[in-house]
Amino acid sequence: MLEIIYAGGWLMVPILVCSVLALAIIAERFWTLRRGKVIPPGVGEQVEEWAARHELDKRHIEQLRSASALGRVLAAALANRHRPRELIKEAVEDTGRHVVHELERFLNTLGTIAGISPLLGLLGTVIGMIKVFSAIIAHGVGNANELAGGISEALITTAAGLTVAIPSYFFYRYFKGRVSEYVVTMEEQAIRLIEAIERGNVAQLTARVPGG
């Protein structure tokens, strides 16, 4: 394996760095974007239960906000539940933008790795072919070792770049799709909560709670 890396030349170094970064980002995003962490089940029911018990005070809202990404969005609506609908929506949208930004953290980096890795491989191909033609000029076509070195460098860097780029792009698209799915779900639950607030289902139950 080391021999292959050495044969690929100095461009194997940035390609390897890209591969390590890609693996780290993929592992971190898999851990962070778990559905149970972003959109845990039963959050809406928990909010309704708190409302029924007149427990929608600041402590419970802060608990909801710190529990999950969905909780942050719903907590923004609950914290502004006594305000007009437009102000509630604005607060939810502002919080949602921050939540989406956190959910998409490092994805641009992963997409960049997917884009530059094949370019690094292509650069290695060009450099390898330059070495081949330089060897032909200097030694003619009879020196097979000189030609083989340049050709192997060209092929190895190309293969390494594609090996990094293909899974990086796949997981980039996968995580973008997962984030989009989460965003739709959070929007649906936020809209339902805003409609419930507007109808007074929550506000009437919590109107007598001091500090709510």
Is 15 inside any structural domain? yes
Q: Over 60: is that where the pLDDT of 8 sits?
A: yes
The pLDDT, as a whole number, for residue 202 is 46
Residues 76 and 66: their CA atoms lie apart, in Å, by: 11
Is 17 inside any structural domain? yes
**Which two three-digit tokens encode residue 44?**
């809406």
Task: State the chain's mean pLDDT as an integer.
Answer: 82
Instruction: Quickly state the pLDDT bin for 98 (edges 50, 70, 90).
Output: very high
Is 81 inside any structural domain? yes
* Residue that the structure tokens 């953290």 belong to: 105
* Residue that the structure tokens 């007598």 belong to: 208
In the chain the first and final C-alpha atoms are separated, in Å, by 63
Alpha helices in the chain, H assignment, sequence order: 2-7, 12-32, 35-38, 43-52, 58-67, 69-79, 85-103, 107-139, 144-199, 203-206
State the residue range of the domain holding 9: 2-206
The pLDDT, as a whole number, for residue 24 is 97
Residues 120 and 60: their CA atoms lie apart, in Å, by: 52
The pLDDT, as a whole number, for residue 142 is 59
- Per-residue pLDDT tens for 60-77? 788 888 888 888 888 888
Closest CA to 153 of 117, 181, 123: 123
Is 13 inside any structural domain? yes
Is 211 inside any structural domain? no
Is 133 inside any structural domain? yes
Is 166 inside any structural domain? yes
Is 212 inside any structural domain? no
Residues 111 and 92: their CA atoms lie apart, in Å, by: 28
Closest CA to 5 of 106, 171, 13: 13
Instruction: Quickly state the pLDDT bin for 204 (edges 50, 70, 90).
Output: low
**Which two three-digit tokens encode residue 1?**
């394996």
The pLDDT, as a whole number, for residue 131 is 72
Considering only residues 23 and 187, tell me which one the structure prediction assigns the higher pLDDT: 23
The pLDDT, as a whole number, for residue 44 is 74
Q: Over 90: is that where the pLDDT of 23 sits?
A: yes
pTM of the entire predicted model: 0.80
The pLDDT, as a whole number, for residue 83 is 79
- Number of structural domains in the chain: 1
- Per-residue pLDDT tens for 150-170? 677 778 888 899 999 999 999
